[in-house]
A and B are shown apart, each in its own frame.
Chain A
Amino acid sequence: MSISVRNLTKTFNDKKVLDNISFSVENGHTLGVVGFSGSGKSTLLKIISGLLYSDSGTIITENNSDIAMTFQYSALFDFLDVYHNIAFPLLERREFRGKYSKKEIKNIVKEKLALVGLEGIEEKFPSELSGGMQKRVGFARAIVTNPNIILYDEPTAGLDPVSSTLIENYIVRLKNELNAACIVVTHQMSTITRACDDVILLYEGKIVYRGTVNDFVSANTPYTKQFIEANIDGPMEIKSLT
């Protein structure tokens, strides 16, 4: 198994954001993590990628695994153009420095940009791109090193339906090509049905549903029903709104 999360707990200012979460993702599988805003999805990804410490719990990955992550708001380097954003890990990461020639890097960047449908924008700066384009550039940057664990934080939020489908197909394709273990945090049903194999639904820091995508869509539990039908009434309530 490629990544395994055991009994993860995280508290922010006395608020339990993650409460004893456990799951695992095999190589070549994609796990969708769904839940309302503020249910701790981004926090979960940040703990897995090492940006935050958990209060307790363990994360088990294989040796030499390379974790990549795309950010909810892209987090492109705004002082670098698109080319240098994508080439950044190849140019600056210690283990890669000097490993590739200029021409090779150029080709890799071109190939990754083509994969996200954005050819020929190497010289633009992030501020000159639309939000959706920024997202796709961030996507290209994350996968430039061919990682084997990929975390996507809302990869399709804010994209038009066609670009979303492009990204969703690409998540599937990349998972197969690299035999990667992927975790996709999303709100969008299309992303769940097209890109994910399994789903967990988070509410108040706990997993209230887990199963395959097909089960999730047809499941008749109160939680999944409320989420899929987007009902205001149901077992889950958004605290900040009431």
Chain B
Amino acid sequence: MINVKSTLTYSFFKLFFHCIKDFLITIGNIGKDFSRVLYYVVRLRINASATIEQSSRFAVDSLPITLTIVGMTSVIIAMQIAPELAKQGAEGYMGMMSALVMIRELSCIMSGFAIISMIGSSFASELASMAVGEQISAMHVLKVDPVEYLVVPRVLSGILTMPFVFIVSSLVGLVCTCLVSYMTAGLSPLNFMTSLWQGLYLRDILIAMLKASFFGGTIALISCSCGYSTRGGAKEVGESTTKAVVWSFVAIAVWDYIFAVLFYL
């Protein structure tokens, strides 16, 4: 007789169904938390001082990392592209191309990644350790709704401040591109600027700001939700943080795709 439970097929399917169950539970938690956040926001039950505090954390504290990542990416891209364009005699298009790439995709997604690794992970681990340390239970007993006090301000801070992060990092990214184009391909900043305007559309900027807002809200919601639903101990806190980061990355990629299809297809 073969022992079914010791076969590879059995353990494969067990793992598979475990993953599916985990996936559905996480989706359910995020959906539940989203509806609760919506409930408070619609009723304007918003803790203003906590929202301001979280906003400063979300946008300002993360800025050095965000700008470094966006700046470095634009430096590298400019370094690769500008000399090639110059070789083909197309350096006049450098500014336009940079603006298109930066505004439509690069700035949003790169600052999103920076925010996930810096803010999303800290939201998740913070709420997770509060959950396992019974601090969230203590809030329930003290009749203060932890969603209203902890989650709503964080999600709002993401929605409200991410567009500004996007604007600042786009600006820095374009300045970096401009400088590097000058240094590697001798493209004069004036030349760069002249062509820049041709790639800069108000529509693109508004869409990107909206997208940034969705990114910020999604990152904060997923991170808070993964942290909030943690049970157990130190190991589970770590797992929740990982889960928050992974889910945020995927969610952002999905949003980016949806926005591209909706507005540019």
Contact = CB atoms under 8 A, between A and B. Distances in A.
A93 B141 contact: no
Interface string B141-178: 11110000100000000000000000000000000000
A92 B50 CA distance: 11
Contact of B140 (A50, A88, A141): A50
A67 B141 contact: yes
Chain B interface size, under 10 / 10 to 19 / 20 to 34 / 35 or more? 10 to 19
A91 B135 CA distance: 17
A79 B142 CA distance: 17
A49 B134 CA distance: 13
Interface residues of A, number: 23
Given A89-B143, A92-B149, A93-B143, A77 B134 contact: no
Contacts of A68: 141-142
A75 B135 CA distance: 5
A51 interface: yes
Which of A51, A75, A93 has most B Cβ within 10 Å?
Answer: A75
B31 interface: no
B133 interface: yes
A73 interface: yes
Interface string B116-146: 0000000000100010011101101111100
Interface string A48-74: 011100000000000000011101010
A71 B138 contact: yes
A71 B139 CA distance: 12
A78 interface: yes
A95 B142 CA distance: 12
B138 A93 contact: no
Nearest to B143: A93
Contacts of B130: 77
B142 A75 contact: no
A44 interface: no
A71 B135 CA distance: 9
Nearest to A42: B134
A51 B133 contact: no
A76 interface: yes
A60 B144 CA distance: 22
Interface string A35-49: 000000000001001
Contact of B137 (A75, A78, A79, A89): A75
A44 to B, nearest CB: 14
B26 to A, nearest CB: 21
A82 to B, nearest CB: 14
B138 A75 contact: yes
B142 A93 contact: yes
B208 to A, nearest CB: 34
Contact of B134 (A50, A75, A142): A75
A61 B145 CA distance: 21
A69 B141 CA distance: 7
B153 to A, nearest CB: 12
A75 B140 CA distance: 12
B141 A49 contact: yes
B141 to A, nearest CB: 5
Which 10 pairs across A and B sit closest by C-beta, in order of nearness?
A: A75-B134, A75-B138, A92-B144, A89-B142, A69-B141, A51-B137, A93-B143, A49-B141, A75-B135, A71-B134
9 contacts: A71-B137, A73-B134, A75-B133, A76-B138, A77-B130, A77-B135, A89-B143, A89-B144, A93-B142
Interface of B: 47, 126, 130, 133-135, 137-138, 140-144, 149
Given A67-B141, A75-B134, A92-B144, 13 more contacts: A50-B140, A50-B141, A51-B140, A51-B141, A68-B141, A69-B138, A71-B137, A75-B133, A75-B135, A76-B135, A89-B142, A92-B149, A93-B143
